[in-house]
Amino acid sequence: MEDEVILMDKPAGISSFGVVAKVRGFLRNKFGHKVKVGHTGTLDPFATGLLILLSGKMTKKSNEFLKLDKEYVAELKLGFKSSTGDPEGEIEKVNDRIPDAEEIDRILHTFIGEIEQTPPKYSAIKINGQRAYKMVRKGVDFEMPVRKVKIYNIDVLEYEYPRLVIRCQVSSGTYIRTLAEDIGMKLGVGAYLTALRRTRIGEYSVEKAKTLDDYLI
């Protein structure tokens, strides 16, 4: 079928646009003509997990998928900060203080509910028609607009300093990189994402997704 909802388990090391390009090429070869393909919310190249692609006439429904809530498993490194909020930036040590588990639970609880976020400048958000990350690379100075997002839940899955693994359910538009940095700031020790996996979008689970290699067979 040309008109599909494609659940993809994105691997690390490729952009969401890169996945779209591979699927588009695969479908063009399969059907013998160009097939429209788009994604419904990007994942950074270092991140893995559920990426929903739409093909053919289903691309007209992209806005419906963009608004869905999401679930992530995020790995943070405490005591450090990154210029990009992830492993791809310049890493700088903040301090050696080790928060205990009780303090971490207390700080995480303060993020539950509607909060304000300033998205990272290294993001695909458009500012005056230009991608923010491209403006940063050009040395353009600009302010990122603050947005309101909802954090429904945050659970600690593992904690052994400096590694903190959390599962969070959030509204569409939430940046987990920013959430990680804000958690580190409130703890007073700094933090950045070392790994990120999107496990759910609305009712769609990564457990039902195909790997890129399996899909392209």
Same domain assignment for residues 84 and 122 = yes
Same domain assignment for residues 193 and 210 = no
Same domain assignment for residues 80 and 166 = yes
The alpha carbon torsion through 1, 197, 208, 210 (nearest 10 deg) reads: 50
Mean predicted lDDT score pLDDT of the chain: 93
Same domain assignment for residues 197 and 207 = no
**Residue range of the domain that includes 207:** 5-67+203-215
Does residue 137 surpass a pLDDT of 90?
A: no
* Mean local confidence (pLDDT), 106-121: 91
Distance CA(166)–CA(84), nearest Å, equals 20
Q: Which of 44, 155, 182, 213 is catalytic?
A: 44
- Give the count of domains, the chain: 2
Query: Is there a catalytic annotation at residue 44?
Result: yes
Does residue 65 surpass a pLDDT of 90?
A: yes
- Please state the length of the chain: 217
- For a pLDDT cut of 70, what percent of the chain falls above it? 96
Structure tokens at 40: 């419904």
